[in-house]
Structure 1
Amino acid sequence: MIPSQMLKGVLEGCVLKVVSQQETYGYQIVQELKNYGFIEIVEGTIYPLLLRLENKGFIISRLVDSDIGPKRKYYCITPVGAEILEEFEENWKELEEAVNALLNRGKGNECR
């Protein structure tokens, strides 16, 4: 399980990545994240994040009629959101390299 504080720092970028791949809706985003190992993600976490991303202008939404219930809100990434996603990906690669370099150093001395 990924600790929630650690997850908060990367979830926005991960949601932008999912939305960048195809126009999609909240439940589908949750399922896609779960497919990649984000098991603890629930819709109650995603919808406020989607609203924040929309308010920042990173994504836009539109309502679409549904055959099985109320209208669904579909999201797609904006050009600004695509730039933010690109920055996130670059920053993530740098962070990943730094953390992996540190973790791969081997064990040190433990205090006794």
Structure 2
Amino acid sequence: MKWPTEWLRGALTAAVLSIVSEEETYGYLVAQRLREGGLGVVKGGTLYPLLTRLEQDGDVIASWREGAGGPGRKYYSITPAGKQRLAMLRVDWQIFADHATAVISGK
């Protein structure tokens, strides 16, 4: 399913931080997990600038590793600040989703 862009944009930071919090990973695998999780295809032109912002904000750290017979990869790990931000985003997202659902469903 192709979700409206504005919906995906609203959820992407928390989703990416959540994926990176599970294990050290690289961009392609993050995109794959987003797709497998039902969020659809997230293009590199959206994902990599977000990962760069998360790195600049101190929520993730990145390190380059040589590839085995191929190009190197940039791996991402969550920082303590990123874990704290993710915890806050999870709480805030649930509150927002509850309110949005109530308004949209007419309750």
TM-score of the superposed pair, with normalisation by structure 1: 0.87
The 3-state SS of whatever aligns with 2:42 is coil
Q: What whole-Å deviation, never above 9, does each CA across 1:40-62 have from its counterpart, x for those lacking one?
A: 31122111110010000000011
Rounded Cα–Cα distance in structure 2 between residues aligned with 1:33 and 1:49: 14
Contact persistence 2:34–2:41 (CA under 8 A): no
Q: How many residues align?
A: 106
Q: Which residues of structure 1 form unaligned runs of 5+?
A: 107-112
1:71 aligns with 2:56: no
Shift of 1:37: 1.0
What is the CA RMSD across the aligned residues, in angstroms?
1.3
1:89 aligns with 2:79: no
Equivalent residue, structure 2, for 1:110: none
Equivalent residue, structure 2, for 1:109: none
Shift of 1:71: 1.0
Shift of 1:105: 3.6
Q: Which residues of structure 2 form unaligned runs of 5+?
A: none
The 3-state SS of whatever aligns with 1:60 is strand
TM-score of the superposed pair, with normalisation by structure 2: 0.91
Equivalent residue, structure 1, for 2:22: 21
Q: What whole-Å deviation, never above 9, does each CA across 1:1-59 have from its counterpart, x for those lacking one?
A: 21112221221111000000000000000000000112131122111110010000000
Rounded Cα–Cα distance in structure 1 between residues aligned with 2:56 and 2:102: 37
Higher helix share: 2
Equivalent residue, structure 2, for 1:43: 44
Contact persistence 2:17–2:86 (CA under 8 A): yes
Identical pairs, percent: 38
Rounded Cα–Cα distance in structure 1 between residues aligned with 2:103 and 2:54: 32
1:60 aligns with 2:61: yes
